[in-house]
Amino acid sequence: MSNAKIPYKIYLKEDELPKQWYNVRADMKKKPAPLLNPVTKKPVTAQELSSVFCEELVKQELDDITPYIDIPQEIIEFYKMYRPAPLIRAYCLEKKLGTPAKIYYKFEGNNTSGSHKLNSAIAQAYYAKKQGLKGVTTETGAGQWGTALSMACSYFDLDCQVYMVKVSYEQKPFRREVMRTYGASVTPSPSETTNVGRKILKQFPDTDGSLGCAISEAVESAQTQSGYRYVLGSVLSQVLLHQTVIGLETKTAMDKYNIKPDIIIGCAGGGSNLGGLISPFMGEKLRGEADYRFIAVEPASCPSLTRGKYVYDFCDTGQVCPLQKMYTLGSGFMPAANHAGGLRYHGMSSVLSELYDQGLMEAVSVEQTSVFAAAEQFARVEGILPAPESSHAIKVAIDEAMKCKETGEEKTILFGLTGTGYFDMYAYEKFHNGVMTDYIPSDDEINNALKNIPVME
Amino acid sequence: MSNAKIPYKIYLKEDELPKQWYNVRADMKKKPAPLLNPVTKKPVTAQELSSVFCEELVKQELDDITPYIDIPQEIIEFYKMYRPAPLIRAYCLEKKLGTPAKIYYKFEGNNTSGSHKLNSAIAQAYYAKKQGLKGVTTETGAGQWGTALSMACSYFDLDCQVYMVKVSYEQKPFRREVMRTYGASVTPSPSETTNVGRKILKQFPDTDGSLGCAISEAVESAQTQSGYRYVLGSVLSQVLLHQTVIGLETKTAMDKYNIKPDIIIGCAGGGSNLGGLISPFMGEKLRGEADYRFIAVEPASCPSLTRGKYVYDFCDTGQVCPLQKMYTLGSGFMPAANHAGGLRYHGMSSVLSELYDQGLMEAVSVEQTSVFAAAEQFARVEGILPAPESSHAIKVAIDEAMKCKETGEEKTILFGLTGTGYFDMYAYEKFHNGVMTDYIPSDDEINNALKNIPVME
């Protein structure tokens, strides 16, 4: 092992950081369907989007032809605080599995937000600052995105208002305190600060809150305060664009050592990490320069790609955001209460949905006890304590490596390790105590949820 | 900033990892006083120590003449999982402070244990494995050391039994679960598993436990199980030795870029991180090759260097371990209940105590609200969320940088950032809510505690 030519961790130099994000839509012959105005059902205009989102981000959202977009120098400077992120050769895991496969993972957890979310948070905060805004609003569930955005806003001296799902605000106070450390104001949702919040509280005074409600509050709050816009941590094409810094760094590191992955694996909730990791490789595939297998891994309890429908749907439960064509379970779908981690969005990035629909990417769903078992196995040999979300990718990477053990194939497997699990120990505890359960929604449940999808002419 | 020749983060290559630890005692003309047998009051023999500690570690503990000790290849392989650790130039903090000082910090938090403790844990686990032991026992307070040891034991397939102070076991379940993830068994202390535990429980059925009691249980447990030894995370000279990997890497990185620190700052509890960071620099000072200012920073609520006595004292409350000459507040000293972080040991490493006594190192104590204020200021500009312990060093680094701002001096300041604060958000919450208080023990309190020190002829 000590004589291996490839180090445990490949760190690029700071001047090897990508200077441009890569927009995979530019290389797609059939583009993702346009966002629609929820009222007129016509493609949304830049002007319509600009009341909610920052102008530059609207441009990025709607641009499906420019392949490379410059990363502003200020963002690159911030990236230098925690990037380049290491590409790690999982020598210890390979040895433990006894597989001839070569396993690599791109680790995005070495920053205080604990995940890849910071890559887009800093970009969105930068454009908000550049536009002269006072601040931004957003929603957060468990708090990973809210933490990343708080850090980014603190750096640019922007006000950051986070609506945090009430039950998380109360039961997961630690991420809330990280956000406060970075100067964000965190409001439990539903709250008395918005019309929609007051309305819901009047109707359901004891509600725990939901992500859908928090989104509605954050959007209303941005639209009713002068100098504020709403920002979002996944699903949108602009977020995928920013996250390509993951894949671009990975590709540079692999090219340096002449490594070519056969299989690229990522967990998929809204799709930002997976899209960011695979984009540069998918670009090669789309241009016919190389071939790769791509595998999206989703929870069996929230299976948008594997059991959803590819149709126009609402992005939020409050149905105020544009309609997006995507694989979806319906905007009213909620994962069962025993679902421990993230990856609980009802839909999927329109870019990834289209790539999946064209057969350019595979998808599998896995059950959470097998995910936590893989997480623990990984932690014990590789040291890093993975987030439950990231562990979906670990589970499938191990599965693929074990197939190689059977066949003797020396495949090269790359997966994205999006973050750390320090704030997920309650779920780990359930797993250790043997009280974690699995849940696969029945066909009836899925079909019922799909009824929420709007009927389009 | 983008044109700066020195990058934000200096990462050494894996082949630049130290191959040997540096034993600063070899360069001390006046050596630290020997450990004494608590019964005979004579210097302990290797044989006496070997019933409690691993043989190779006993050798390291007693060796004050060999300057360099080879790091076994297996430990280097493990180090490669998370080392070399980055040396970071605090450009953003410098800019925020408006200081002409150049600030660097060595960041030891980028591993799952969240601190530098892993550097010694892996070494101690390795020697236990090499000796053919089945497992090791230890105690842990908040759980940082226990987590590091669990990771190390998992890697070498050693059983790891951790006695965790009961109140922490119940109130801080998350670190406990990290330990369980790595396969350790965690027992709340006092427990029914040892004589000393049963005795204490009979006398004080409702006790919250204490570190002193947990040590006694861990030592008893090691001595009554065949194939077990006891291991410790700080204070001992062997631990300082392993931790010199911090300072050696730092020195290599600084030499590469021709950086010479004027001031080197570290937080000091038992002294392992501070000793590890400063050792190679102190060696140069002892040999007359260079001069540096060294500053140990301790909490005002547990001021062993600044208000303790330099005498022989018990290392543990149970008084079963050897007597050590050190700066101490007496083995019965407990920091006030409002003390939030670690650094709560009543004494100080004998090596650092002797260096301090010879005037080769300075010490200051700081109050915790000022520490948390510095931590928050640092987090907002440098991104990293620091542990409360590490933030003691941040506080004094900022103070020194502000002095440079007044005088216009362009001093180079180096400090050790030992870990992250992800499991300390309860303390941050108190700080955010304005309910964190300071406490400086009165002279009477200190004098009372000092009465516990054994009278030596």
Kindly report which listed range (A251-265, A335-349, A439-453, B77-91) carries the lowest average pLDDT score. A335-349
| B221: in domain | yes
- For residues A220 and A264, membership in a common domain is answered with no
- For residues B328 and B187, membership in a common domain is answered with no
d(CA B362, CA B263): 11
**Interface contact B394, partner A, CB < 8 A:** no
pLDDT tens digits, A106-140: 999 989 899 999 999 999 999 999 999 999 999 99
Q: What is the largest CA-CA distance in chain B?
A: 67
Helix, strand, coil in percent for chain A, rounding step 5: 45, 20, 40
pLDDT tens digits, B351-373: 999 999 999 999 999 999 999 99
- For residues A96 and A201, membership in a common domain is answered with no
- For residues B346 and B441, membership in a common domain is answered with yes
Q: How many domains are contained in chain A?
A: 2
Residues of chain A contacting B422 with CB distance shorter than 8 Å? 114, 174, 178, 422-423
**Interface contact B290, partner A, CB < 8 A:** no
d(CA B323, CA B156): 31
User: pLDDT in tens for each of the 457 residues of chain B?
Assistant: 334 588 899 999 999 999 999 999 999 999 999 999 988 999 999 999 999 999 999 999 999 999 999 999 999 999 998 999 999 999 999 999 999 999 999 999 989 899 999 999 999 999 999 999 999 999 998 789 999 999 999 999 999 999 998 888 887 889 999 999 999 999 999 999 999 899 989 988 988 888 778 988 999 999 999 999 999 998 999 999 999 999 999 999 999 999 999 999 999 999 999 999 999 999 999 999 999 999 999 999 999 999 999 999 988 777 778 899 999 999 888 888 888 878 888 999 999 999 999 999 999 999 999 999 999 999 999 989 999 999 999 999 999 999 999 999 999 999 999 999 999 999 999 999 999 999 999 999 999 999 989 887 6
E-assigned strands of B17-146? 20-22, 68-70, 87-89, 102-107, 135-140
Phi, psi dihedral angles at A408 (to 5 degrees):
80, 5
Give pLDDT, residue B457: 60
- For residues B298 and B437, membership in a common domain is answered with yes
Sequence-distant (≥ 6) Cβ neighbours of residue B179 within 8 angstroms: B140, B143, B146, B147, B150, B160, B162, B186
* Partner residue facing B181 (CB), from A11, A181, A385: A385
Do the chains contact at B92 and A81, CB–CB below 8 Å? yes
pLDDT tens digits, A67-87: 999 999 999 999 998 999 999
Q: What is the CATH number of the domain that holds A264?
A: 3.40.50.1100
Is the predicted pLDDT of residue A9 greater than 60, yes or no?
yes
- For residues B206 and B272, membership in a common domain is answered with no
- For residues A148 and A92, membership in a common domain is answered with no
**Interface contact B185, partner A, CB < 8 A:** no
Q: Which amino acid is at A261?
A: P
* Partner residue facing A177 (CB), from B9, B380, B429: B429
- Closest to B190 (Cα-Cα) out of B221, B160, B156: B221
Domain end, chosen from A202, A221, A237, is at A237
- For residues A220 and A292, membership in a common domain is answered with no
Give pLDDT, residue B4: 52
Is the predicted pLDDT of residue A2 greater than 60, yes or no?
no
Chain A nearest CA to B329, separation (Å): 33
Touching B: A residues 6-45, CB under 8 Å? 7-9, 11, 13-14
Residues of chain A contacting B178 with CB distance shorter than 8 Å? 385, 422, 425, 428
Do the chains contact at B380 and A154, CB–CB below 8 Å? yes
Provide the percentage of residues in chain A whose pLDDT is more than 70: 99
| A345: in domain | yes
DSSP 8-state assignment for residue A15: G
Q: How many other CB atoms are found less than 10 A from the CB of residue B387?
A: 27
Do the chains contact at A155 and B380, CB–CB below 8 Å? yes
pLDDT band at A265 (very low <50, low <70, confident <90, very high): very high
Q: Which amino acid is at B74?
A: E
**Structure-block tokens of residue B134:** 């089945």
Determine which of B17, B94, B112 to mutate to test the interface with A (most A C-beta atoms within 10 Å): B112
- For residues A273 and A303, membership in a common domain is answered with yes
CB B99 within 8 A of CB B124: no
d(CA B282, CA B268): 16
**Structure-block tokens of residue A70:** 């410059």
Domain end, chosen from A167, A202, A237, is at A237
Give pLDDT, residue B332: 80
* Partner residue facing B380 (CB), from A76, A183, A384: A183
- Closest to B26 (Cα-Cα) out of B324, B280, B232: B280
- For residues B282 and B354, membership in a common domain is answered with yes
CB B214 within 8 A of CB B193: no
| A330: in domain | yes
CB A307 within 8 A of CB A319: no
Domain end, chosen from A217, A237, A257, is at A237
Do the chains contact at A112 and B380, CB–CB below 8 Å? no
Average pLDDT, chain A: 94
Phi, psi dihedral angles at A132 (to 5 degrees):
80, 20
Parallel/antiparallel/unpaired status of strands B102-107 and B87-89:
antiparallel
**Structure-block tokens of residue A36:** 């629609």
Give pLDDT, residue A38: 87
**Structure-block tokens of residue B425:** 């958000």
Determine which of A14, A94, A257, A422 to mutate to test the interface with B (most B C-beta atoms within 10 Å): A422
Task: Label residues A168-191 b or e (16+ Cβ within 10 Å = b).
Answer: bbeebbbbbbbbbbbbbebbbbbb
d(CA A395, CA A397): 6
- In terms of residue numbers, what domain contains B246? 10-17+83-114+240-450
Task: Label residues A93-132 b or e (16+ Cβ within 10 Å = b).
Answer: bbeebebebbbbbbbbbbbbbbbbbbbbbbbbbbbbbeee
Give pLDDT, residue A1: 37
Helices (H) and strands (E) in chain B, counts: 18, 15
Q: How many other CB atoms are found less than 10 A from the CB of residue A207?
A: 14
Residues of chain A contacting B155 with CB distance shorter than 8 Å? 92, 380-381, 383
Please name the helix (run of DSSP H) or strand (run of DSSP E) that holds residue A215, with its range, or none.
Answer: helix A211-224
Cis peptide before B190 (omega within 30 of 0): yes
| A148: in domain | yes
Chain B nearest CA to A385, separation (Å): 6
- For residues A225 and A351, membership in a common domain is answered with no
| B213: in domain | yes
| B456: in domain | no
- Closest to A213 (Cα-Cα) out of A224, A228, A198: A198
Residues of chain A contacting B154 with CB distance shorter than 8 Å? 380-381
CB B264 within 8 A of CB B294: yes
Helices (H) and strands (E) in chain A, counts: 18, 15
| B298: in domain | yes
| B332: in domain | yes
Residues of chain A contacting B81 with CB distance shorter than 8 Å? 8, 92, 382-383
- For residues A287 and A198, membership in a common domain is answered with no
Chain A nearest CA to B258, separation (Å): 19
Determine which of A177, A182, A372, A432 to mutate to test the interface with B (most B C-beta atoms within 10 Å): A177
- What's the order of all strands across the beta sheet hosting B135-140? B185-189, B159-165, B135-140, B228-230
Sequence-distant (≥ 6) Cβ neighbours of residue B40 within 8 angstroms: none
Do the chains contact at A181 and B112, CB–CB below 8 Å? no
Touching A: B residues 59-88, CB under 8 Å? 73, 76-77, 80-82
pLDDT tens digits, A140-149: 987 899 999 9
pTM of the model: 0.92
